[in-house]
Amino acid sequence: MSKMQRTLRLTAISAALASAGGLALAQDAEVAELVTPESFVSIGAGYWTKDRPQWGIYDGMNKDGGYGLLDARIANRDNPTGTWFTLDARNIALETREFRVDWLRQGDIGAFLEYSRIPRDNPYTFLTGVQGIGTATLRVPTPSATTLGEVHLGTVRDRTGVGFFKSLGGGLGFRVHLQNEDKTGTRHWGRGGAAEFAVEPIDSNTRQLEAILSYASKAFQIQGGYYGSWYTNDIKLVDTALTTGASQFFLSQPLSNQAHQFFVNGGYNFTPSTRATFKVAYTQATQDETIPVGAGVATFAGAPTNLDGQIDTTLLQLGLTSRLSDSFSWLASLRNYESDEKTPQVRIVQPAGGCGTCVDNTPLTFKTLTGKLEGTYRMTRGLSLLGGLEHAKQDRKVPFGNLNVAGVDNQRYVPWRAEVDETTYRMQLRRALAETVNGSIAYLHSKRDGSEFTATNELQSDQINPIHIADRDRDKVRLMLDWAPSEALNLTFSAEAAQDDYGYSAARPYGLRDGEATLFSIDAVYSITDRWQFTGWYTRDNQKATQFGQRAVNANVLAAEKEARLEDIGDTFGAGLRGTLLPRLKAGFDVLYSKNVNKYPETITPLAGGPLLPTVGGVSAVPLPEIENRLVRLKLFAGYALQKNSEVRVDYIHERWKTDDWSWMFANGTAFTYGTTTDGTQVLQSQRQTADFLGVRYIYRFF
C-alpha cells in the first residue's frame, strides 16, 4: 500500500471514529443543556423620568431617578445524590428586594431561608403643620396652620422565613415553617374626636409557625399539625390634642393577640373511584393585654383593665366523591364552621346618670353549617351536565347590651338576625361543539332568608335590611366559548351576568334594593409565524347597585328619602407581541389600557320641603360628580444574544395615568383642607402622572 493509500485509509477511519465519537459528544452536550437546571445572573440599571406616586405604591420606584436592576437564579443539582441548591434573588437593588435559598436532598431532607420586603408608599402628598408624625404623640395646630411642611406616608414590611423538611420513611414526612414580619411606618388616619388629620404610627411584628406531620400512601393521606400566630404591637395608645393641649383624645391601637390552631386533614380512597375526605381544626385566639388608658381619661369603675378576649373556632368538614359509572359521578360535602367568642361580656361605658347610653362589649358567636350535593353526568363524548344543590344555615348570636326603658337593646345600631339561611342551585352544561370548539353555560340561583330581625334602639335604624343578612335572590349566568378556527389561532369568548334582588317591606324599606353585574371578555392568541405570536384581549365589566335610604332631620336639612344608583363601568384592553426579528434579536411589546368610570347619582326627595343638601357655616355641598380613571401602560423589550448563553436586554415602559377622583378635593377643584379654625392640612393627589422608564440589563446564563 502506498503512503497515500495509508493516509487515506487512516483519514477515513479517523473521520468515522471522530464523527461517531464527536457526534455523540455533541449530542451529549446538547442533551445535557436540555436536562440540566439552568441558572442566570442579570445585572443592569434603569431610569424613571418622572415621579409615579400612584403606580409606584408597591414597586419601590415611585420617584424619578436611577435604579439598579439585579436578579439571579442559581440552580445546582448534584445528580448522583439528587441534591439541589437553589438561590432565587429578585430586585436586590430595589426596595422590593427578596431572596430565597433552598437546600434539598430530594425525597429526604431539605431546608430554606427566605427574605422579602414589601414597601407601600402612600400616593398622596400631605402638606401639614401637624407635629409628631411617626410618633405616639400628635399635636394639631390651632389656629389653623399657614406654614405647612411636606410629608409622605408609607409602611415597610420586612419578612423573614425559615423552613425544614424531613422524610421519615414509609410515606411519613415532617415539615416546619417559621415566618417573622416586622411592619414599620406611618398610615393615614383620622383624629377620631374631630375631623382632623392624624397619622397612625406603625411598629408591629407578626410571627407564624406551622409544623405538620404527614403520611401519604396510594389510598390514604393524612396530615396533622399546629399553626401558631402572634401579633405584637409596640405602640399601645396615641395621644392627640391641639397644640394648646386642648381637645385631647387618646386613640387606642390594636393590642397584641395570638392564636393557636391544631388540625387534622385527611383523605381515603375506598376504591380508585370513591374517595372520602375530612378536616378537623380547632383554634383558640386570645387577646389579654392590659388595656392602656390615657392620662386623665375617665373610665367607668367597672370597666375591665384586661379584656380577657378569647375566640374559639372549630371546623369539621366531611366529603365524599364517587364515580358510579363512566358517565356519572357525584360529590357530597358537609361543613360546620363555628366561631365562638368567649370574651366575658362586661360594662365598658356607664355615665353617672344611668344607662341611657351604656355600652357593653359584644362578643359574637356564629356557626355556619353547609351541605352540598353535586352530580355530573357525561352524556356523550364531550358533553357533560353538572347539577348541584347547596344549603348554608348560619346561626348568629350576640348578647344583648344594656336595656333602655322600652326594653330594647340600646346599643344596637344595626338590625340583627339570629339565623340566616341560603340555598343555592347550580347547573352547568359543558360541550365539545366540534373538534375545535368547546363551550359551557352555567346558571346559578340562590335564595337567602332568615329569622325575624332583632330591633335596634330607634325606629329609623330598625328600618334597614343590612346587606350581608338581608333577604336576597341571586341569579347568575356564565357563558364560555373556546374556538380554534385554525392551528394558529385560538379565540375565547366569555360573558357573565348576575342579578341580586334584596328583600324589603313597608316596615323595613331601606338598604340595597338590587345589584347587577355583567362582564364580557374576548381573548385571542395568534401564532403569526413560527417566530411571532400575538395575544390580545378586551374586557368590559359593569356593576350597578340601587340603594334606598332615609335621611333624618339634621343640621339645617329636613327628612328626605334618597335613592342612589351606583355604577362602576370598566373597559380594559390588553395586547402583546413576541417574536424573533433576527437570529440573535428577540423583541416584543405589551400594552394595557384600562378605563373606569364610577357614577354616584342620588335622588333626594324631601319629605317636608327644605334644601336637598345642607349648608353649614356658609359651606354647602353639590351632588357627587362621576370619577374616571385611565391607565395606559406600554412595555417594549428587545434582547440581543451576544453569545449562546448571554444577552443584553433593553426594556422601555411608557406609563400614563389620569384621574379626576374628587376624594381629596372640594367642589371647586381645590385641594381638600382639614378643619376650619384648626389644622389646615392639605392632601394633594397628582391627577396626571406620565413617566417613562428605560432599563438595560446584561443576562448571563449557565448550567
Partner 1 sequence: MNALVKVLLLASLLAAGNVFGQAARQDKVLKGDAQCTRCHDETEEYPVLAIGKTKHGTIADGRTPTCTSCHGESNLHVNRPPDAKERPKPDVTFSKASKTPMEQRTAACLSCHQGGNRIQWQMSAHASRDVSCTSCHQVHTGHDKVRDKVTQTETCFNCHKEQRVQVNRPSHHPIIEGKMSCSSCHNVHGGNPKQLVRDSVTETCFTCHMEKRGPFVHSHPPVQEDCAICHQPHGTTIANLLKARPPFLCQECHSHTSHPSQAAGLPTGRTTSNTLLGAVGRGCLSCHTNIHGSNSTQNSATSGRFRR
Q: Alpha-carbon distance 422 to 393, whole Å? A: 7
The least CB distance from residue 232 to partner 1, in Å, is: 9
Q: Does 307 bind partner 1 (CB under 8 A)?
A: yes
Whether 213 and 225 have beta carbons less than 8 Å apart is answered as: yes
Select from 497, 524, 612, 641 the one that contacts partner 1 (CB under 8 A). Answer: 612
**Cα(323)–Cα(269) distance, integer angstroms:** 12
Q: How far is the CB of 225 from partner 1 (least distance, A)?
A: 11
- Residue 508, classified by CB atoms within 10 Å of its CB into exposed (0-12), middle (13-18) or buried (19+), is middle
Q: Does 90 bind partner 1 (CB under 8 A)?
A: yes
* Binding-residue total with partner 1 (CB under 8 A): 213
Report the residue from 49, 184, 233, 247 that binds partner 1 according to the rule CB under 8 A.
Answer: 233
Residues 6 or more apart from 302 whose CB is under 8 A from it?
Answer: 346, 347, 350
Least Å distance, CB 643 to partner 1, is 20
Nearest approach in angstroms of CB 584 to partner 1 is 20
Q: Name which position in 675, 689, 695, 699 contacts partner 1 (CB under 8 A).
A: 675
Distance, in Å, from the CA atom of 106 to the CA atom of 186, rounded to the nearest integer, reads 44
Minimum CB separation of residue 257 from partner 1 in Å reads: 5
CA distances from 700 to 41, 530, 638 (A): 5, 26, 16
Binding mask 642-661 for partner 1 (x = CB under 8 A): -----------------x-x
What is the closest distance, in whole angstroms, from the C-beta atom of residue 630 to partner 1 in the complex? 10
Site for partner 1 in 250-289 (CB under 8 A): 250-255, 257, 259, 265-267, 272, 275, 277, 279, 281, 283, 285, 287
The 47-86 contact track toward partner 1, x by CB under 8 A, reads -------x--xxx-----------------x-xxxxxx--
- Binding mask 386-425 toward partner 1 (x if CB under 8 A, else -) reads x-----------x------------x-xx-----------
CB atoms within 10 A of CB 391: 14
| Residues contacting 30, CB < 8 A, separation 6+ | none
Q: Which is nearer to partner 1, 131 or 233 (CB)?
A: 233
Q: How far is the CB of 539 from partner 1 (least distance, A)?
A: 5
Find the binder of partner 1 among 155, 673, 686, 687 (CB under 8 A).
673
Q: Which is nearer to partner 1, 431 or 447 (CB)?
A: 431
Where in 131-160 is the site for partner 1 (CB under 8 A)? none
Among 383, 666, 688, 702, binds partner 1 (CB under 8 A): 666
Please name which of 506, 507, 417 lies closest in space to residue 469, comparing C-alpha atoms.
417
| DSSP calls for 149-195 | EEE--EEEEEEEEEEEEEEEETTEEEEEEEEEEEEEEEEEEE-SSSS
Residue 438 corresponds to which amino acid? N
Site for partner 1 in 96-115 (CB under 8 A): 96, 98, 106-107
**451 in Cβ contact with 416 (< 8 Å):** no
- The residue range among 88-96, 443-451, 638-646, 693-701 that interacts with partner 1, by the rule CB under 8 A, is 88-96
- Least Cβ distance, residue 66 to partner 1 (angstroms): 19
Q: Using the rule CB under 8 A, which residue among 51, 114, 449, 458 binds partner 1? A: 458
- CB of 539 closer than 8 Å to CB of 520: yes
Q: Which of 41, 45, 349, 648 binds partner 1 (CB under 8 A)?
A: 349
- Lookup result for grid cell 393641649: 245
In DSSP terms, which residues pair with 261 in a beta bridge?
A: 227, 283
Q: Which residue has the cell 383593665?
A: 305
CB of 65 to partner 1, least distance (A): 18
Which of the stretches 15-23, 134-142, 636-644, 688-696 binds partner 1 when contact is defined by CB under 8 A?
Answer: 15-23
Q: Are 348 and 361 in contact (CB under 8 A)?
A: yes
667 near partner 1, judged by CB under 8 A: yes
- 66 vs 695: CA distance, rounded Å: 9
Does position 557 interact with partner 1 (CB under 8 A)? The reply is yes
Q: Which of 160, 276, 155 is nearest to 204 (CA)?
A: 155
